[in-house]
Amino acid sequence: MKTLFLAFAALFLPTIVHAAPSDGITTCDAAWHDVARNRDVPVRIRMPAGIGKAPVILFSHGLGGSLGSGTDWTVAWAKAGFIVINLQHPGSDRSILRKGGIAAAMSPTQLAARVGDVHFVLDALGRDPRAGACDLRRADLAHVGMSGHSFGAITTQAIAGQHFPSGEITGDPRVKAAIAFSPSPPAWESDAGAFGTISMPFFSITGTADFVPITPNITPKDRERPFRAMPRGGKYLLVLQGASHMMFNGQDGRPAPSSKPTPHVRETVIAATTLFWRWTLDGDVEAKRRLDKFAAALTPGDRFEMR
């Protein structure tokens, strides 16, 4: 696996524009209070080494998740030179596992609250100079990416511009690109009606075993539907053979070791997503060229598409 990782690095990791890659990231936890909604939003900020401006990537956890969700991805992106912020969404976070409120946590009301959390965090980034040891003045808010897993993928789809019949859920024009781990088809309207206006670069990542019992109506193939319904231009799809839903949560797999990403899943996802962010947030045209040829680095059974 070490040889495979080095091959990915040699083929697909060009120079960062804003900040040099380094393991010396600074991590700061905080709980920011949204006065308008009387709501606390926990955040975990990973600041790359250096003192210069850096693009920002937000990560939204899945149902029952926490600030630890997506750690494999967010640490790798921070090491690559991006400011990465995990959001924890009260009402659909790990607290529901204790309270038994899973059904209520999947509601449109909770999705609207999650989208509001994203708007609020971006507002706070433009207002607050520091969070502990993290200098928020380094945040380049002209180059913002959004990402998330499962319910966090739906949150990402909403921020990217997915249409919802209620009209209460709105995208955020400050976000310029998005990555959805385990995306979902629309629940209330046609695919074209939901995704037909998402013009920003969008990367959908899923697996052939990407299903969960709580949503038995969504098959692994259904998770490709958002990609196919979006307008052409900057849209990518990565399907990994045998990858399960929880592997894309990007954690260590506790308490279910089978949900831990395999080395192949981890290395492939990190290589592809880093190229995507370097292109969309750093303006690295060489990263775009290498991303477009990413299929050549995949093992048999994996699939990569673009449109």
Judged against a pLDDT cut of 70, whether residue 253 lies above it is answered with: no
CATH of 2-306, one of 3.10.310.70, 1.10.645.10, 2.40.440.10, 3.40.50.1820: 3.40.50.1820
Q: What is the pLDDT of residue 254?
A: 60
The per-residue pLDDT for 4 is: 37
Cα–Cα distance, 136 to 72 (Å, whole number): 22
What pLDDT score was predicted for residue 252?
65
Residue 7 pLDDT level (bands cut at 50, 70, 90): very low
Burial grade of 137 (CB within 10 A; 0-12, 13-18, 19 or more): exposed
Q: What is the pLDDT of residues 76-89, one digit of tens each?
A: 999 999 999 999 99
> How many other CB atoms sit within 10 Å of the CB of residue 283?
13
Task: Provide the percentage of residues in the chain whose pLDDT is more than 90.
Answer: 80
Percent of the chain with pLDDT over 70: 90
For 204, the enclosing helix (H) or strand (E) is strand 202-209
* Model confidence pLDDT, tens digit, residues 176-230: 999 999 999 998 899 999 999 999 999 999 999 999 998 999 999 999 999 999 9
* Six token digits for residue 232: 């052409």
- Average pLDDT, whole number, for the chain? 90
Question: Quick check: 36 pLDDT over 80?
Answer: yes
Contact 66, 94 (CB under 8 A): yes
Q: What is the pLDDT of residues 113-122, one digit of tens each?
A: 999 999 999 9
CA distances in angstroms from 11 to 4, 161, 184, 207, 287, listed in the order given: 11, 32, 31, 23, 10
Residue 279 tokens read as 């292109």
Residue 3: the pLDDT is 36
Mean pLDDT of 128-157: 97
Q: Taking the domains of the chain in order of start, what are their residue ranges?
A: 2-306
Is pLDDT of 276 > 60? yes
Query: Which carries the bigger pLDDT value, residue 220 or residue 7?
Result: 220
Sign of CA dihedral 199, 205, 207, 209: negative
Task: Please give the DSSP secondary-structure letter assigned to residue 162.
Answer: -
Q: For residue 255, say if its preceding peptide bond is cis, omega within 30 degrees of 0.
A: yes
Q: Which long-range contacts (CB under 8 A, 24 or more apart) does 91-98 make?
A: 92/63, 92/64, 92/151, 93/61, 93/64, 93/65, 93/66, 94/64, 94/65, 94/66, 96/63, 96/64, 97/64
Do the beta carbons of residue 149 and residue 250 sit within 8 Å? yes
The residue that leads in pLDDT, 258 or 163, is 163
Confidence at residue 1, expressed as pLDDT on a 0 to 100 scale: 38
